[in-house]
Copies of this chain bind each other. A is one copy, B any other.
């Protein structure tokens, strides 16, 4: 293995730069050249790339975003696009390609396999933490603390006005972020797909009323995963208001993707980046480099989207039990 490629794909996540740094430094130590493609797979198609040397990644361990930039790539859904990607990788003598991204990027990577002669390896980078084969994805820990910091601030105002707030966090098909942020913020209610496929206005209302019976007027925070209500937090606030429950909505939005990665993400990103290069050298193919029980390991790319990973149901049940007091 003489030359490998790397790209970041899909929604950016804090720690992607730390991962790129680990990849470049590990490859360098193993005398392997690293080609970084820009804008995800688009950079392979458009031949936008650069050789990454240690000094390019010096000092980026703490930077949010991704120096390779990211993008979704429509062409990866077509035969022509996949062929083009493979051709360009072959032309550049890329022996293996590392794809840092989430579930969607991994599906594209699997699609590429029949066309490409080299090795393909995924590294889980997404704030959603919805990838099977790794306890945590790069970016989740930072997004949690960003969401938490925002909810703590909202709690100040909620306390001052003894008001109900609905805080909408990211996580399209999954409630990892909502559950973790809700538990950690001491939220009175958490609404996520794992608890119920549909949102029940009666239950929400009943819980608010019960809490106010127990505690008198007080702040009350609902943390909601982004797709749980048509129209989002604002629409839910309006619906509750029709039932006589005044509330405010706050959509945290894209701030959750940015920022300097926290320690846990930098360490995970470093570990998976170094491990992925080593495994590529050892011939791994169509696998994802993940971490389970604090140990780096390989997991078939084909199963990263199986959705077997569960949110912490112990804490979810506990939170429902105690949140009224």
Contacts and interface: CB of A to CB of B under 8 A. Distances in A.
Nearest to A25: B322
A235 interface: no
Contacts of A62: 152, 155, 185-186
A254 interface: yes
- The dominant DSSP class at the A interface is helix
A278 to B, nearest CB: 9
A274 interface: yes
A254 B61 contact: no
A62 B151 CA distance: 11
Q: How many of these chains are in the complex?
A: 4
Contact of A161 (B69, B153, B296): B69
Contacts of A59: 155, 159, 186
B254 A180 contact: no
Given A183-B266, A184-B267, A161 B71 contact: yes
A256 B39 CA distance: 33
Interface in A60-81: 61-66, 69-71
Contacts of A58: 215, 218
A94 interface: no
Interface stretch (A142-150, A200-208, A279-287): A142-150
A314 B293 contact: no
Given A157-B65, A186-B21, A267-B184, A152 B260 contact: yes
B157 A254 contact: yes
Given A257-B156, A263-B184, A293-B293, A322 B61 contact: no
B185 A61 contact: yes
A251 B253 contact: yes
B66 A325 contact: no
Nearest to A146: B153
A213 to B, nearest CB: 13
A153 B64 contact: yes
Contacts of A275: 314
The residue in A146, A185, A263, A322 that gathers the most chain B C-beta atoms within 10 A of its C-beta is A263
A195 interface: no
A258 B152 contact: yes
Nearest to A12: B160
A83 interface: no
A135 interface: yes
A150 B255 contact: yes
Given A26-B318, A263-B181, A322-B28, A157 B69 contact: no
A315 interface: yes
Given A152-B259, A321-B29, A159 B65 contact: yes
9 closest residue pairs by CB, A with B? A153-B258, A156-B258, A65-B156, A64-B156, A12-B160, A25-B322, A184-B266, A61-B186, A54-B325
